[in-house]
């Protein structure tokens, strides 16, 4: 309760004492938006953490071996992640559903075990130290980047590109019959997601004094998907809300920090059962009643065609 009391009674003090938490919420929100883009286009991909690793390692390597500005390093890391997204997307995007998820998850593991853990420039299994890290100074850039990315993705949703993604998500064959270049638009969503994930990686590396290769494994890839599922993918605010809830939870309930993954799993199950479209999906915050749930116990039920 102290967490919420300080949040509402002393916002300035809350920000000063929880800057790193706020920064991590921003990073996870960017990752959630990156997977939101691909899910919005009907693609279940789990390669975002791999693209994040590309952005993080590129930023730190340039900081260690070149005298280029930090903004340039982060931008180049994001661009390299986007370029890698094209390379990975060409063979992988022919797949659909769970096969696409497995293939992209395999890409992330291949990148980690085949490249990061074997190249001397990446520190191999020891990771990389980042002496130029600025944990507190990196909070504002992260929040600014989150606001800009969220706004741009929101605008994309109502553009011709976003409408094409939505059409592909609903029915690829119907979208193709309407003249939509399905492979091209799917690739564009994949690349946009890779760019955002690479940006998140570069920003996160700036607030950490050490880049740990174990941070870019399967566990985090599933965690990013959980952010989007819990928040909902009907609009860009859903993944941000999901990331905020699940990132803040260990701080809210400190006694349960050691059981974070267990609690996240329970929350995910409850969301799937009671709110399959996510907290902000569909009709706002209304609770969806499962068929086996007594009608009189339902707080609010979303309207369906049968109610009309």
Per the DSSP assignment, residues forming a β-bridge with 210 are 129
> Could you read off the pLDDT of 193-208 as tens digits, one per residue?
999 999 999 999 989 9
Instruction: Kindly state the average pLDDT of the residues 14-39.
Output: 91
Using CA atoms, how far apart are residues 105 and 48, in angstroms rounded to an integer?
A: 9
CA of 267: how far to CAs of 25, 77, 106, 186, 281, in Å? 18, 33, 26, 30, 16
What integer pLDDT is reported at residue 303 of this predicted model? 44
CATH number for the domain whose boundaries are 2-281: 1.10.3470
What integer pLDDT is reported at residue 4 of this predicted model? 66
What integer pLDDT is reported at residue 288 of this predicted model? 44
Spans of all domains in the chain: 2-281
pTM of the model: 0.86
Residue 239 CB contacts under 8 Å (≥ 6 apart), including other chains: 29, 32, 33, 35, 36, 227, 228, 231, 232, 233
Most trustworthy range by pLDDT among 34-38, 244-248, 281-285: 34-38
Instruction: Kindly state the average pLDDT of the residues 143-151.
Output: 95
Long-range contacts, 129-134 (Cβ 8 Å, 24+)? 129/209, 129/210, 129/211, 130/60, 130/63, 130/64, 130/205, 130/206, 130/208, 130/209, 130/210, 130/211, 131/64, 131/209, 132/63, 132/70, 132/206, 133/205, 133/206, 133/207, 133/208, 133/209, 134/206, 134/207
Instruction: Kindly state the average pLDDT of the residues 124-128.
Output: 84
Residue 219 CB contacts under 8 Å (≥ 6 apart), including other chains: 261
């Amino acid at each position: 309760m102290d967490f919420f009391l300080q949040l509402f009674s002393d916002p300035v003090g809350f920000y000063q004492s929880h800057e790193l938490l706020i920064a991590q919420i921003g990073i996870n929100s960017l990752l959630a938006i990156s997977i939101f883009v691909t899910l919005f286009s009907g693609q279940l991909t789990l390669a975002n953490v791999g693209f994040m690793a590309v952005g993080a390692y590129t930023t730190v390597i340039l900081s260690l071996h070149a005298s280029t500005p930090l903004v340039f390093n982060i931008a180049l890391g994001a661009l390299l992640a986007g370029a890698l997204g094209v390379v990975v997307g060409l063979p992988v995007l022919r797949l659909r559903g769970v096969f696409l998820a497995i293939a992209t998850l395999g890409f992330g593991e291949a990148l980690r075990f085949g490249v990061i853990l074997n190249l001397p420039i990446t520190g191999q299994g020891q990771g990389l130290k980042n002496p130029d890290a600025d944990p507190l100074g990196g909070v504002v850039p992260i929040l600014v980047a989150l606001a800009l990315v969220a706004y741009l993705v929101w605008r994309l949703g109502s553009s011709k590109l976003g409408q094409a993604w939505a059409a592909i998500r609903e029915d690829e064959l119907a979208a193709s019959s309407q003249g939509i270049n399905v492979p091209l638009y799917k690739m564009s969503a994949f690349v946009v997601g890779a760019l955002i994930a690479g940006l998140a990686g570069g920003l996160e590396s700036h607030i950490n004094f050490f880049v740990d290769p174990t941070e870019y494994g399967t566990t985090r890839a599933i965690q990013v998907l959980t952010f989007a599922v819990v928040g909902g993918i009907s609009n860009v605010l859903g993944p941000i809300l999901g990331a905020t809830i699940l990132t803040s939870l260990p701080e809210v309930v400190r006694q349960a920090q050691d059981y974070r993954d267990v609690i996240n799993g329970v929350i995910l199950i409850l969301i799937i059962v009671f709110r399959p479209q996510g907290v902000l999906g569909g009709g706002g915050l209304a609770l969806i009643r499962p068929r086996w749930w007594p009608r009189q116990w339902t707080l609010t039920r979303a309207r369906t065609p049968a109610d009309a």
